[in-house]
Amino acid sequence: MVTSWSSASTSEPSPVLVHRDRVVCECEVARERSARRRGLLGRDGLDGALALPGVRSVHTFGMRFAIDAAFVARNGEVLRIVTLPPDRVSRVVWRAASTIEAAAGAFAAWGVGAGDRIEVR
């Protein structure tokens, strides 16, 4: 499975995160640079996930809740998942083509771990 970041038209369904051919959640995609920079700032929580194409490191400065960050290779392989409480910075994951953020504990609840393949459809 390859992670797809194509633009969705208004007639298409909302993007979803897929693991082992199973939809695990709805997934917002931050396609614009400003949306990637803003990320989850100002939110009180997150239902689902937020995909950040081209992002190899994230921070939680100013955030109100802890997150999981999954760093994903171009082929959809999850390279690393880290849990970040507010006011932290992740390490750079150089092989990552994107990062997917979710509420802390979400990836474990979905059965997603390092080495698995995921896809945004």
pLDDT string in tens for the chain (121-residue length): 344 444 444 567 889 999 999 999 999 999 898 878 887 888 888 899 999 999 999 999 999 999 999 999 999 999 999 999 999 999 999 999 999 999 999 999 999 999 999 999 9
Task: Write out the two tokens for 68.
Answer: 């999981």
- Say if 107 falls within a structural domain: yes
| Domain region containing 57 | 16-120
Q: Is residue 10 part of a domain?
A: no
Residues 6+ apart with CB under 8 A from 67: 40, 46, 58, 60, 83, 84, 101, 102, 103, 104
Within-domain flag for 102: yes
Interatomic CA distance for residues 90 and 69, integer angstroms = 9
d(CA 57, CA 118): 18
pTM (2 d.p.): 0.87
Residue 35 lies in a domain: yes
**In a domain? residue 83:** yes
What is the total count of domains within the chain? 1
